[in-house]
Amino acid sequence: MFRKILVANDGSPGGQAALSAAIDLALRCGGELHMICIEEIPRFAQTIDEIEGEKEEAGLRFTTVIERAKEAAGHKRVSLEAHLLAGHPVPTIVEFLRVGTFDLLVVGFMGHSAIYNRLIGSTTDRLVDHAPCAVLVIK
């Protein structure tokens, strides 16, 4: 059914739930499983040093997320290819989906208040709107 699956994981409980579901789905479908983590860069950085500092901190944080994800996939004998990219989550993930010709994006639901979602929107909502493939949201 799904040949190439991408799971977005930021290490949050929602990201971990998405990872678990993606591993199970890849196992059932025999699909290729990839995971993307985004080192979010500041929207309006003051200096290049600020961006470099953010990237270094995110790299350290995501090392643990990637190691745990590979371990979880390994327990179920699923191969997981991890990708750590710097950028803003929605456009970076959407472009990665396009270039990689993925069949499915798996994301965790991040609950916010109704007011927040109406005024700002959520990353999950924007990924559902803009992804060039099917999106599975795990609650």
Q: State the CATH number of the domain containing residue 133.
A: 3.40.50.620
SS3 109: coil
Q: How many domains does the chain have?
A: 1
Range of the domain at 98: 4-138
Q: Is the dihedral of CA 32, 80, 69, 111 positive or negative?
A: negative
Q: Which of 31, 91, 86, 45 has its CA nearest to residue 62?
A: 86
Task: Give, for all 139 residues of the chain, the pLDDT tens digit.
Answer: 899 999 999 998 999 999 999 999 999 999 999 999 998 776 555 655 655 655 555 556 789 999 999 999 999 999 999 999 988 899 999 999 999 999 999 999 865 445 545 544 588 888 999 999 999 999 8
pTM given for the model: 0.83
